[in-house]
A and B are shown apart, each in its own frame.
Chain A
């Protein structure tokens, strides 16, 4: 059967499943819209949170970034899992005990200040919108490929689908749909990885195969990979090349950001008890780890496969010929991806061969010239975001595996986009409008404004997604930096310190958010508009700290500001200190109540 048709059968069937579930579990009241009536088991909640969490960045983008950089991008793996430790130990149980619907409600109550709540809402909207931009980048890549159209058209179609999908139901529809999406995405991610691991190492578990022996050569897989990439003039895969300070700060930003992202924290409001909030964080990480332990294997094995595909007789021999790329079935995937504009090659020196090597490595360039293969790399464009989607084709796997990965990639992007849009819409309608501006709004009015907020958020994200500030995972990393600098410190101090008062929290959040946002805009362009940046991440403003790593610095500024301002002003009132005491012990956690 034609691959195009097969893709659409798999994508269509998975969508029919999600929509069916969404209709079956449609949200009836506002309480169900936001928090699914709190009747969700920790394992189910963990699975849904996993789907919510693992977005286009994890599924589509991350392995590609690891593949082309190697060890240095392990930061994504540690950062995006390590945050769950912070969440489980420092936030989830306490926020569940507090028992309200949204993150900003906690901040508003704990810091007894509508201003604090407003500032939290703004922080949340800024971080979530940036996050949605990253998702739209991934959606564009996936739809572009599977509709066989260019990236921009794919993005616009994707935006319509995401919107229709997110407006359909609230959290309840989303929770059960996300369980289905988790199943689709994890199967889609692991099946090709298992096939490829078997082909290359004979071991069916990719995470073990990664550290096993390469079947064809008998050498360890990683040693073989190091050898081939260095032969092509690239940096050694397993070695540490990146700036250490930057690596540490980047990992820390992702960790703190994970624990500060509203759509993830909201999940822990939907479990029945404090104790199940603790277990739920663990189950979430189990389901996430299944993908994250596989991702580095996917990256390394794909890099090896691509290098061998471009140099079929070894790196010291002849590169692949143009004729072979046009006729051999093994290279058919390259032509289909070329249509999206995300993969490109050109026989620059007209020798009928496509030479892939590091053209920034003078020694390698000299060697290539001496061999008469030209001085320029002829695999001119390989977008990192296509690697996972192209992976089963690169490894020459059967058509149904390719179609399955298509469905999985879309599941990942859609589930997260929907969760984020829900967080944005509840912030606008529940916290901003109902909580502050128009407290007498009816339930129907609240639902309506929630949907309008979703539409606006998706329009902004789509517009910016056309010219994203980076690959999907890099854009998402910026969102984490913003969440790290603004939300997490306020939540943590609100629980672990009784001394932090309203003025300290507001000043801390504002300093953290504004300094981080300005630092990002200085490097990525104001409001992410290309060309308006004054610095570049290759030569950043402050030491070696890239804008993607700045969230950790922003968080530190937030902590310090809140501490000094609070100590210079009056203590919080007694009832707030009692509130903190009560949040710290699980006893008495009832069902949560909304603010009306």
Chain B
């Protein structure tokens, strides 16, 4: 393990990334999919509206993007802070 300040910087960078990812996670599912659906109902998607699409398709696609982004970003962060596995 590396020295204390370095590992603290690594951990707080990680927390920042996780927080932003979870904000997006919540906005597309609980937000667009459920609570904010009335606000975006003016945008029509094939016989229904954008909220319906997010609830049944969009949220899943965004979840995928979040996980792959996180894996890529964290591998980069590991290397930057010298805490990656060799």
CB distance from B79 to the nearest CB of A (A): 10
A238-B47, A585-B7 as given contacts; A77 in contact with B67, CB under 8 Å = no
Q: Is the interface of B mostly helix, strand, loop or mixed?
A: helix
B55 CB to closest chain A CB (Å) equals 4
Binds B, one of A158-166, A282-290, A515-523: A282-290
- A85 contacts partner chain B, Cβ-Cβ < 8 Å: yes
Interface pair A222/B48, CB less than 8 Å apart: yes
> Closest CB of chain B to A146's CB: distance in Å?
30
Selecting from A175-183, A243-251, A527-535, the interface stretch reads A243-251
Quick check: A582 and B1 within 8 Å, CB to CB?
A: yes
Please determine whether A289 and B46 come into contact, CB atoms closer than 8 angstroms: no
A residues 226-256 in Cβ contact with B at 8 Å: 226, 238, 240, 244, 247-248, 251-252, 255
CA A586 to CA B10, docked complex, whole Å: 11
Contact of A220 among B47, B53, B70, B83 (CB under 8 A): B47
Is residue A316 contacting chain B, with contact meaning CB distance below 8 A?
no
B40 located at the interface, meaning its Cβ lies under 8 Å from any Cβ of chain A in the complex: no
Contact of A89 among B21, B37, B85 (CB under 8 A): B21
A245 CB to closest chain B CB (Å) equals: 10
Query: Taking CB as reference atom, which chain B residue is nearest A88?
Result: B67
Residues from 26 to 78 in B contacting A, C-beta threshold 8 Å: 29-30, 33-35, 37, 45-49, 52-53, 55-57, 59-61, 63-64, 66-68, 70-71, 74-75, 78
Taking a contact as CB atoms under 8 Å apart, the answer to whether B22 and A77 are in contact is no
Cα A470 to Cα B22 in complex, Å, equals 32
Q: Is the interface of A mostly helix, strand, loop or mixed?
A: helix
A80 closest partner in B (C-beta): B60
Interface window among A273-281, A429-437, A556-564: A273-281
A223 to B49, CA, bound (A): 11
Contacts of B68 in A (CB 8 A): 282
Say whether A85 contacts B7, CB under 8 Å. Answer: no
Interface size class of B (residues with CB under 8 A): 35 or more
- Complex contacts, B1 vs chain A, CB 8 Å: 581-582, 585, 587-588
Q: Assess the B60–A282 pair: CB atoms within 8 A.
A: no
The residues of A that contact B60 with a CB separation of less than 8 Å are 77-78, 81, 289, 292-293
Q: Which residue numbers of B lie inside 8 Å of A, CB to CB?
A: 1-2, 7, 10-11, 14, 18, 21-22, 25, 29-30, 33-35, 37, 45-49, 52-53, 55-57, 59-61, 63-64, 66-68, 70-71, 74-75, 78, 82-86
Q: Beyond A207-B57, A220-B48: 20 further Cβ-contacts under 8 Å?
A: A71-B56, A84-B67, A88-B67, A88-B71, A89-B66, A210-B57, A221-B46, A278-B74, A279-B71, A282-B64, A282-B71, A293-B57, A296-B56, A581-B7, A584-B11, A586-B84, A586-B85, A587-B84, A587-B86, A589-B85
11 A-B residue pairings within 8 Å (CB atoms): A71-B55, A74-B55, A85-B63, A89-B66, A219-B47, A222-B48, A247-B34, A278-B75, A285-B67, A584-B11, A587-B82
